[in-house]
């Protein structure tokens, strides 16, 4: 699934005429692929997994807040609940 999705996304990004960041994204993914000996051409997904154990409620909420803040930090939205695909919307009673 990951390989199929990666190829499909690569094609969609590279060929989409309305994507203003396409050259930058293709360049970045090719550069990432060259750094990893497991890839021939490019890399979209990270190939490592560093799981951590959630030890208590405080740690859970800290990690959840971090995830909810990602679209805000990336400049995609002003408020975490405004990101359409975020579970933060559930905490603010926003429906799709």
CB 86 within 8 A of CB 80: yes
Per-residue pLDDT of the chain (96 residues; tens, 9 = 90+): 455 566 777 788 788 888 788 888 888 888 887 777 776 677 776 777 788 899 999 999 999 999 999 999 988 899 999 988 888 888 877 665
DSSP letter assigned to residue 75: T
Q: In whole angstroms, give the CA distance from residue 3 to residue 41.
A: 13
């Amino acid at each position: 699934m990951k390989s199929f999705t990666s190829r499909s996304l690569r094609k969609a990004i590279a060929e989409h005429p309305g994507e203003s960041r396409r050259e930058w994204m293709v360049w970045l993914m090719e550069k990432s692929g060259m750094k990893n000996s497991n890839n021939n051409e490019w890399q979209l997904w990270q190939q490592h997994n560093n799981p951590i154990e959630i030890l208590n409620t405080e740690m859970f909420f800290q990690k959840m807040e971090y995830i909810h803040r990602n679209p805000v930090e990336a400049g995609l939205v002003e408020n975490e609940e405004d990101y359409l695909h975020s579970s933060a919307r559930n905490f603010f009673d926003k429906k799709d």
